[in-house]
Structure 1
Amino acid sequence: MKLEKAVSKNKNRVDELMRVTRWWISGLKDEYAVDRFLKFYFAYEMLVAIKKYKKGKKYEEFRKMYLDNFYYLDIYCKHKGYENIDDIIDKCPQDKKGGRISIRWVRNSLVHEKSGEKDLAEKLAVCSADEFGLKVLGAIKKIIYEEIGLSFD
């Protein structure tokens, strides 16, 4: 009853959130970590659009609020103890802000195949795909609650 009411009141928003969820589920089912990472990234970008965040401070605010500030992969992969991560990070062109390697850089390098960067980006995607997916799932749950009032607790 509660679900029916929420869906009928927010049909367009529910459709958008279902598309996000389908991308996330597709990522979850994918056996290849790089493809998982990209599918989770698509879901993430759609959530950013749903919440109408833009680049810059608001974008950073979104990451803090919905992803527990999971954005820079150099710290995560080092903490995880990923093999040869220091060598990989040293070879990556650093993000302009603070010399950090972001999920956005990894996504762009994977999708646009910048010469010499794709292999490095693949290694970082493999290292972080599952954790990124968990963070995106948490964001999906929060945003579903905020947008249509359904809780997963």
Structure 2
Amino acid sequence: MKGDSKFEFTNVNCTSNRKEIADFEYCYLKSINRSYKYISGKINIYEIPLYKVTINLIMWKRLNGYKPFLYNITVDFCKFLDKPKSSPVGKFVYDSYMNYSNVNHSCPYSHDVILEKLPISFLNHRMTQILPFPEGDYLFEFRWLRGKSIVGWAKVFFTIS
């Protein structure tokens, strides 16, 4: 991969399917100038303490519509937080946002979850240098589940050029 690859957010979309359990207070992509964009989001959790959360991460690549690409993993998030090395892909994704989030302790969660100002520059290094992806348009879809029911999801669209 060329050393001059560039990662850029293109959109973010967050939806709560079970508003009685959790709902997004905000979820947005903010562009300050041509070189500084970031993602922020806050999930208000209403059923606390929260002991059991399953997260399904799906990576999609746009090829005549979005098609599954490389990863579709599901982890018990509480178990993952106790042993992050149990899922190398999960750990890579978690390490990509943990410094910008309050998701930095084990379960149970008795507070809202916040992601604040996750910048392009941080992810650009991770997605083009540490674990380089081929050029293209991508989507990371995060689904939060309780049992088999989807509580909510976040879709993060980005491009690597």
Question: Is TM > 0.5 for Structure 1 vs Structure 2?
Answer: no
The structure richer in helix per residue is 1
The structure richer in strand per residue is 2
Structure index of larger Rg: 1
TM-score under structure 2 length normalisation? 0.30
